[in-house]
Chains A and B, each alone.
Chain A
Amino acid sequence: MQYALYVVRRLLTLVPVLLGITFVVFLLLKLIPGDPAVTLLGVHATPASVAELHKQMGLDKPLYQQYLSFLGHALQGNLGVSYQYRGVSVSSLVFGNLAPTLWLIVVGMFFAIVITVPLAMISANKPGSATDGAVRAIPLIGIGLPSFWVGVMLILLLGLKVKILPVSGFGEGFTGHVQHIILPALTIALAQLPILIRSLRASMLEVLVSDYIVTAKAKGLSRSRVMFGHALRNAGVASVTVLGVNLAYLIGSTVAVEKVFALNGVGFEMYNAILGRDLPVVQAITLIFAVLVVMVNLLTDLAHAALDPRVRLG
């Protein structure tokens, strides 16, 4: 009940945030020098035809009216027409490519968590041991390596040398998607590991010296019950926030990873749109990325509140 109220309250706070995002994204195009009508018609267009197009595009109206009509169209899923592919609507271009990106983020995050939790637990179980040292040191190498390079290395190693996984594209059907997403998702996960492992390890060490862990040990519970039943959930509270912040960064990094693995997702489309100066597409994808980041923050907060009942009060 308390949790349901929290969810509703948290959802309401999204409204101003999302409005703000649309406004900033709308201004993005206005702030870029140059006239979109001139861009469309070419430099030899007559002033009359430019004015005519301005009228068609609504560019002759005041800024707030332009914003309201942009917002109205956006709410209906109409994000304009691509410059690059004449006549193709931006929304069909973007939403058609959303699935691979969502797969990449979700599976990448899944890998990151599945690798982080056991390693951090092993590390925190015996701090200062050789295993602890190895768990802390090895992922650090990953932080110095850019994802596009790690991606290429994974392609070389697992795709071309060992030939167990496909190296590009999104595949056909569910199994095809799963097979194709493993390498790019792993690339994304590897970049997250050093921070996630260290943060969870640090929280675990902090939690393990607290009084309630002594209480749990005094109950005579098994070591694993103390570690997983009592310590992990408390340590997870702090790490979920770190995970959320990282996930937000990760959304931006899909652009490079999708390009390396020729994954036809939104990031891949973003890359093409930037090269082709396809501003409406860039604008739409920026909007989508921003909304994704907001959603991730929302999910982080909801997970936080689900883990820690004290958060639900605030």
Chain B
Amino acid sequence: MTAPAQSGPAAPVLEAVDLHVEIPLPMGQLKAVRGVSLSVGAGEAVGLVGESGCGKSITLRALLGLLPVPARVTGGALLLDGVDVLGMAERRRQRALTDAISMVFQDSLTALNPVMRVGDQIAEVPRRRLGMSKAEAHARAIDLMDQVGIPEPEQRYRAYPHQLSGGMRQRICIAIAMSTEPRVILADEPTTALDVTIQAQVLAVIDKLRVERELGLVLVSHDLAVVSQTCSRIYVMYAGRVVEAGQSLPLLTRSEHPYTDALLRSVPDPDATVERLASIPGQPPMLVDVPPGCAFAPRCTFARDVCTADPNPPELEPVSVGGSHTTACVRHQDIDLASGAVSAFVAEKEA
């Protein structure tokens, strides 16, 4: 077979197809992820957004094969370069996944081993897995610290996590993630715990590495501004499902799902004269006993009987013929979200 032409989107490095994750609880199976499909290609940045508890983080952990006990994948496929790893024996699967994928966590203080020097935590993979000598691994760690923008890496090498600032710690976490020479980085709210000025720096470091090394990046965040700055594609998650997906700009300017629209409306606008911040009324559903049809219907101002007529959740369907923008709203052709809703936020983005 000849290599495919380099036109159109490259073949995804990592792809989840109809992924299901369940957590057995005393009151029943909690369906944390209910059929999520997403993909990321080399050098591509995709965003995963949604409010707390929508299944973003658990999806990310499932992609890495490190779900917290007792959660487990109950369906779907996880493709690495087109090969399903879920069928592999556990050891082989973990090896394949951790070789190709790294993760950066939200809270760098808990993500680092408190009793181990940060440099040793970076040097560990080169030393233990890449078979380098002690001196080589040390040099590699210093090099990585330099690349993520840590000044005086030789001195910082010997520091313990609690001796560093939040921004420095998150850079260490990124250096650790890079130490495995991954092809995909999963970042779970990597800047949420940081000051705004530091947030931008840390995001810039991640983005620089993505471009330089052709890394795939899956960025989880509830901060639409962060995601829209960094990612070319966005997946919007609600109640364990992707409800809208597409290129960032069309998705944010012409959102075709009332949930995305509501999320955008709740972004604070510094120029707005209204006193009260817009919010989405109600709570996301408990995922033990999932309501029939569209899970957002109970909170949706556009909901009609048709939204819950089919007990199965609505599938993603293309917004227009041939486009990559998809939505899971059954009424997307009947309702008009574009007018007025997102103006302030997007105008700022486009400027």
Contact = CB atoms under 8 A, between A and B. Distances in A.
Interface of A: 209-212, 214-222, 225, 229-230, 233-234, 237, 307-310
Interface of B: 61, 64, 66, 68-69, 94-95, 98-99, 101-103, 105, 107, 110-116, 124-125, 128-129, 160, 162, 173, 176-177, 179-180
Contact of A309 (B64, B94, B112, B162): B162
A230 B129 contact: no
Contacts of A229: 124
27 contacts: A211-B110, A211-B111, A212-B110, A212-B112, A212-B113, A215-B112, A215-B173, A216-B113, A217-B94, A217-B98, A218-B177, A219-B129, A219-B179, A220-B95, A220-B98, A220-B180, A221-B124, A221-B125, A221-B129, A233-B116, A234-B113, A237-B115, A308-B114, A309-B160, A309-B162, A310-B114, A310-B115
A220 B115 contact: no
Contact of A212 (B61, B66, B114): B114
Nearest to B102: A218
B66 A225 contact: no
A310 B102 CA distance: 28
The 5 closest A-B pairs by CB, nearest first: A220-B98, A211-B110, A309-B160, A212-B113, A211-B111
Given A221-B129, A310-B114, A310-B115, 18 more contacts: A212-B110, A214-B66, A215-B111, A215-B112, A217-B66, A218-B66, A218-B101, A218-B102, A218-B177, A219-B124, A219-B125, A219-B176, A219-B179, A219-B180, A234-B115, A237-B115, A308-B114, A309-B115
Nearest to B108: A211
Contacts of A307: 115
Contacts of B95: 220
Contacts of A308: 114-115
Nearest to B94: A220
A220 B103 CA distance: 11
Specify which of A210, A218, A221 lies most central, judged by the most chain B CB atoms within 10 Å of its CB.
A218
Contacts of B101: 218
A197 to B, nearest CB: 22
Nearest to B99: A220
A291 to B, nearest CB: 30
A234 B180 CA distance: 24
B184 to A, nearest CB: 12
A220 B130 CA distance: 11
Contacts of B128: 221-222, 225
Given A215-B105, A218-B64, A218-B102, A210 B110 contact: yes
A308 B114 CA distance: 8
A230 B103 CA distance: 18
Contacts of B61: 214
B114 A219 contact: no
A154 B313 CA distance: 68
A230 B94 CA distance: 18
Contacts of A237: 115
Given A210-B110, A309-B162, A215 B115 contact: no
Contacts of A219: 98, 124-125, 129, 176, 179-180
B95 to A, nearest CB: 6
A235 to B, nearest CB: 10
A220 B91 CA distance: 10
A82 to B, nearest CB: 49
Contacts of A230: 113, 116
A194 to B, nearest CB: 26
Given A219-B98, A219-B125, A310 B160 contact: yes
Contacts of B112: 212, 215
Nearest to A219: B125
